[in-house]
Amino acid sequence: MSNNTKLIKKILIAVAFLVCIVALATLSRERAAANAADQTTESITEESNAEESTAADSSVTEEDQSENDEQALTAYWSADSAAAQSLRDYVTKVTDEANADSFIPVKDRIAVFDMDGTLTCETFYTYYDTMMFIEYCLYDHPDQVSEELKQAAEEIKPGYKADETLARNFAKAYAGMTVDEFYEYAVEFGKKYTDSFNNMRYIDGFYLPMVELVEYLYENDFTIYVISGTERTTTRAIVANSPIKDFVTPNHVIGTDFEVKQPGYEDIASNMDFKYADGDDLVLTGGFIQKNLNANKSIYIEREIGQRPVLAFGNSGSDTSMMNYAIDSRNQYPAEAYMIVADDSVREWGTADWAEKSAEYSEMGYVPISMEKDFARIYPDTITKAAEQYVEREQVSEPEEQVEAASEEEELANAA
């Protein structure tokens, strides 16, 4: 075979080899493309199924939310309560992220509640801190308070005024008690029974519809504050032993303040002149700082919360500063204020005129709430209104232990 023939043969073999390589590469690319197309189709199908599933879940969530909104405030509120419907509408509006004009971020959902008369009964002989003062001075510890304080306690009758003068007497009565001792006394007092209702301890006076409302707001990510004219430690004791204890933490209680210092430094004007050490107590000096009513409510909300609430609830003129502060036109969010009207004279001791009060509060920009019409139930069924609101009792001049000891000594003397 000639050299030319051998060269041609080698060239043909090389060409054939190259053709095979090209064919194999083309086949590989086609298979890869087909696989990619199959994977894309599967991915699109999976995404479509996921979107359909998400849409279904979203639809269920919206339906559930709508059902929850409809069922809210129905356990203890009247079925036709306009106030309850107003609250449901408000919460639905401000918690809907799709509604940019009214949505309120969770961090800014702040609701403030007055306590006495708004969350709890404040009928005389059920009014917690006033009756606690009377009980302490006249029945529990008359040996530990001055004659002036006993007289002040004796003079408190229905229709009394819960003003700053009375609050200063409250502060004096508990002078020398540690904060922990004072807290425990407030708890123990709450276990006593009021004369104004049958089967009601003082701690049992929470309005069921308002408890339901607090829980409803809490479940919708509102932060709840109790802003009370009652002293702060007492308010904390009341809240911590109440049906709203899981929804309001101690640091979310703002109340009237009594002076507190360390023992031995009660007469030192400045707290800068001494320091707390391990094992030190904090004691009430008998001094008074401020009564948390009227303008103090708005001032202390600013100081301790640092921003405007979007919901406010009260029951009297001393709450209007707090309510006006919430619905001030400069509030960046939609805000509402609600005023409880004590107009139920059958289940409660209410004497307010609904027509007059509701018109007055509506004009001030508040939504009025009628205890008679809006509250389907006020208290548990075991609690009923007593035959008389006010029962006069005899003062205990000496503690029972001292009386018993004196009797024993007299018996021993007679026996001798």
User: Which residue range forms the structural domain that includes residue 117?
Assistant: 102-385
The one-letter amino acid code at 279 reads G
Q: Which of 320, 361, 370, 362 is nearest to 340 (CA)?
A: 370
Instruction: For residue 156, tell me if it sits in a domain.
Output: yes
Instruction: Say yes or no to pLDDT of 344 above 70.
Output: yes
Q: How confident is the model at residue 57 (pLDDT cuts 50, 70, 90)?
A: very low
Instruction: Say yes or no to pLDDT of 97 above 50.
Output: yes
Instruction: For residue 82, tell me if it sits in a domain.
Output: no
Q: Which of 300, 299, 259 is nearest to 167 (CA)?
A: 259
List of residues 6+ apart from 337 with CB closer than 8 A: 311, 312, 313, 314, 323, 324, 326, 327, 365, 366, 367
**For range 173-199, the mean pLDDT:** 98
Distance CA(245)–CA(238), nearest Å, equals 9
Contact 335, 102 (CB under 8 A): no
Give pLDDT, residue 52: 46
Q: Which of 348, 369, 346 is nearest to 358 (CA)?
A: 369
Instruction: Say yes or no to pLDDT of 266 above 60.
Output: yes
Distance CA(95)–CA(130), nearest Å, equals 39
Q: Which of 308, 305, 364, 376 is nearest to 339 (CA)?
A: 364
Distance CA(397)–CA(140), nearest Å, equals 10
How many residues can be counted in the chain? 416
Give pLDDT, residue 41: 41
Instruction: For residue 236, tell me if it sits in a domain.
Output: yes
The one-letter amino acid code at 75 reads A
Write the CA distances from 402 to 125, 138, 224, integer angstroms: 27, 15, 45
146-168 pLDDT, tens digit per residue, is 999 999 999 999 999 889 999 99
Distance CA(416)–CA(410), nearest Å, equals 10
Q: What's the maximum distance between 2 C-alpha atoms anywhere in the chain?
A: 158
The one-letter amino acid code at 17 reads F
Contact 96, 102 (CB under 8 A): yes
Q: How confident is the model at residue 397 (pLDDT cuts 50, 70, 90)?
A: low
Share of the chain above pLDDT 90, in %: 76
19-29 pLDDT, tens digit per residue, is 445 455 554 55
End-to-end CA, the chain: 157
Instruction: For residue 134, tell me if it sits in a domain.
Output: yes
CB 352: neighbour CB atoms within 10 A?
18
Instruction: For residue 265, tell me if it sits in a domain.
Output: yes
Instruction: Say yes or no to pLDDT of 259 above 90.
Output: yes
319-343 pLDDT, tens digit per residue, is 999 999 999 999 999 999 999 999 9
- 3-state SS class at 375: strand
Query: C-alpha angle with apex 322: 235 to 202, nearest 5 degrees?
Result: 25
Contact 309, 225 (CB under 8 A): yes
Instruction: For residue 393, tell me if it sits in a domain.
Output: no
Instruction: For residue 297, tell me if it sits in a domain.
Output: yes
Write the CA distances from 401 to 133, 222, 309, 329, integer angstroms: 20, 49, 50, 60
Strand pairing partners for 261? Answer: 283
Question: What are the tokens at 268?
Answer: 């030192």
Give pLDDT, residue 199: 98
Q: Which of 190, 268, 273, 274 is nearest to 233 (CA)?
A: 190
Q: Mean pLDDT for the chain?
A: 86
- How many structural domains comprise the chain? 1
Residue 280's domain is classified under what CATH number?
A: 3.40.50.1000
Strand pairing partners for 258? Answer: 288
**For range 287-304, the mean pLDDT:** 97
Q: How confident is the model at residue 394 (pLDDT cuts 50, 70, 90)?
A: confident
Instruction: Say yes or no to pLDDT of 62 above 60.
Output: no
| pTM listed for this prediction | 0.80
**For range 360-373, the mean pLDDT:** 98
Distance CA(245)–CA(190), nearest Å, equals 15
Is 53 exposed, middle or buried, given 0-12, 13-18 or 19+ CB atoms closer than 10 A? exposed
Give pLDDT, residue 48: 43
**For range 64-93, the mean pLDDT:** 89
The one-letter amino acid code at 332 reads Q
